[in-house]
Amino acid sequence: MRDNSLFDDALAHYPDASDQLVIDAVRAWFRPHCDAVRGSQTWRDVLSEIGPTRDGLHRFDMFMAELARAARRPLDIRCRCAHEFAGDETRLLQSIACLQSNDRMAARVLLTDWITSSAIDRLADNTHWFAMTLLDAGVIVSKRARRATYFH
């Protein structure tokens, strides 16, 4: 397997703290009314734990709005209560990891699979800025295998 491929392996490691933080924020943005986990925290509350700037929070919101708008199909983003990651969530984490390691082409390939071609440049830019915001806050998302579950 290439280093920049999306891994979807049943034997993959469980999420680390960085993965979980990003997914918690993404799920809180997409599903703000599920408060079974972490009380009634918003995505801003989740990200505030790492201390990003106001600009960093704005970048995340722009990134998520573009992601929701540009998807070719409904995204598989789980409820905040879910313990396992969906395939789209692992793809998103791998894209962020690629951008944090300056592998923009690999991130673009991952995003192209589920984002409309007219929006790929904007989304790649927004994803890049969010990835750098995370990196500046000390949140490093690694390029690695992740377990993904799918609904049938």
User: Residue 122: its pLDDT value, please?
Assistant: 87
Helix/strand/coil percent split, the chain, to 5 = 55, 5, 45
Please tell me which residue, 115 or 25, carries the higher pLDDT value.
Answer: 25
CB 9 within 8 A of CB 149: no
Please tell me which residue, 38 or 16, carries the higher pLDDT value.
Answer: 16
Q: Max Cα separation, the chain?
A: 40
pLDDT in tens, 78-114: 888 888 888 889 889 999 999 999 999 998 888 887 8
Residue 151 resides in a domain: no
User: Residue 1: its pLDDT value, please?
Assistant: 42
Q: Measuring CA to CA, which residue among 51, 54, 66 is closest to residue 21?
A: 51
Give the DSSP letter of residue 71: B
At 115, give phi and psi (nearest 5°): -120, 145
Of the listed ranges 5-9, 73-77, 116-120, 127-131, the least confidently predicted one is: 5-9
CB 93 within 8 A of CB 19: yes
User: Residue 70: its pLDDT value, please?
Assistant: 87
Domain that holds residue 29: 17-136
Residue 148 resides in a domain: no
pLDDT in tens, 130-152: 999 899 889 999 887 676 666 53
Query: How many structural domains compose the chain?
Result: 1
pLDDT in tens, 49-87: 887 778 788 889 988 998 898 888 888 898 888 888 888
Q: Name every residue whose Cβ is closer than 8 Å to that of residue 2 and which is 6 or more positions away in sequence.
A: none
CA distances from residue 111 to 43, 101, 106, 107, 148 in whole angstroms, order as listed: 22, 16, 9, 6, 17
At 35, give phi and psi (nearest 5°): -120, 20
| Model confidence band, residue 27 (pLDDT cutoffs 50, 70, 90) | very high
Q: Name every residue whose Cβ is closer than 8 Å to that of residue 5 and which is 6 or more positions away in sequence.
A: none
Residue 12 resides in a domain: no
